[in-house]
Structure 1
């Protein structure tokens, strides 16, 4: 894990959530990891431990304040000895459909939802993409600075967050349009999206890499928006 980056920030998505009713749970409290989700985040934590054993200087851990991200951060705390700092800036995107069981039939046949679907480029049903980018960029830069202050050049931080905010941060970092087909998101459960910063002032875009330590556990999983 050698690199010329001045700092790295690993954006890790939480593991699978126990959600048998297939609710868009968004920012709702008390949605816990499933048994499979716990296995997923353990694999990601073990990947971080492997990197640390190979010389990575991982010195800071932050997470969204939601239950599923706190539980996903727990094995990292166990294996790396890092306290998880809650950062509301990396929380799930706000979503009008939160708390509902939403499928295509429900969306098309219920007129009360139509006004929330008129502009998918914003999107009109939730927190604007640009707002997500702004808060995620600020939180990620701050994590890079904290890591640098603690560990010096090359130090690394971990942020445990959610699919859409992580994906928005990545698309922005890569200079891509924010509106997208949700099916195209490369941000699977317990995945790790890594930003490597060459400076801490935002003069240059970070370089981005991606890995899926829990890929062996993905078979048959149904993923919902707002997760």
Structure 2
């Protein structure tokens, strides 16, 4: 037996009054609104009535704080998984709209398909799919929750959907405290052998939708 579903939960709003692209910088925790968002995600998972038997979390402060309501709801101890961390980014620590006006930064923008300003999409895909795959095998039954970040979750979605990685960051479907859920499908069997299992996206919800209008979301890579 393996996990029934794996849920990728994005963290809540971060306290970031200066609008910094915080990336992997320390010291960026949730705002008061962000804590409410994180609770909304935990409530959604609890209200589904599905057993959650394991919880993994990115090592960054905002994800660890977002995992606490889930841990409390299911009496779990979060386990840090470095593979589901925010990607690296050359603009980390800057205010993006100002950084883009500096000619010295323009060479970092030459290849949006990779992207040239940070960790390659293929690298993010590789580590996220490995983490998801291991999450399925980590428990004998129940669901597993991974608390991660916008781009890793979005790249996971694009990979499973078979879509190209190059995209406009403003159009990502990955709101604060959203939940993207996956199952394993056995694939098509043949006479000789059975196709390997594959991931299938089975749901996307925004439990904190009612709070998003008051939120600021400018620090994601």
State the TM-score, normalized to the length of structure 2. 0.91
Q: Are 1:106 and 2:93 counterparts?
A: no
- What are the ranges of 5 or more consecutive residues in structure 2 without an aligned counterpart? 188-194
C-alpha deviation, 1:222, in angstroms = 2.9
Q: Secondary structure at the match of 1:28?
A: coil
**Map 1:1-20 → 2, pairs under 5 A:** 7-20=4-17
Question: Distance between the aligned counterparts of 1:111 and 1:199, measured in 2?
Answer: 50
Instruction: Show the 5 A alignment for 1:59-208.
Output: 59-103=53-97, 105-108=98-101, 110-147=102-139, 149=140, 151=141, 155-199=142-186, 203-208=197-202
Instruction: Report the count of equivalent residues.
Output: 213
- Deviation of 1:57 after TM superposition, in Å, equals 2.2
Q: Cα offset for 1:75?
A: 0.7
Give 1:65 deviation, angstroms. 0.3
Pairwise CA distance, 1:221: 2.5
Kept in 1, the 8 Å contact 2:66–2:147? The answer is yes
How far did residue 120 of structure 1 move?
Answer: 0.6
List gaps (5 residues or longer) in structure 1: none
**What per-residue deviation string (whole Å, max 9, x for no partner) do you get for residues 186-210 of structure 1?**
1000000001112499532323310
Give the CA RMSD over aligned residues.
1.8
Equivalence for 1:32: 29
Deviations 1:1-35 (A, max 9, x none): xxxx9621000000000000000000011211000
- Looking at structure 1, the residues matched to 39 and 51 of structure 2 have their Cα atoms a distance apart, in angstroms, of 19
TM-score (ref. length: structure 1): 0.89
Aligned position for 2:45: 48
3-state secondary structure, aligned to 2:175: coil
Q: SS of the counterpart of 2:202? A: strand
The list of structure 1 runs, each at least 4 consecutive aligned residues, that deviate by more than 6 angstroms after superposition, is none
SS at match of 1:219: helix
Question: In 2 relative to 1, CA 212–179 (structure 1 residues): closer, same or farther, beyond 3 Å?
Answer: same
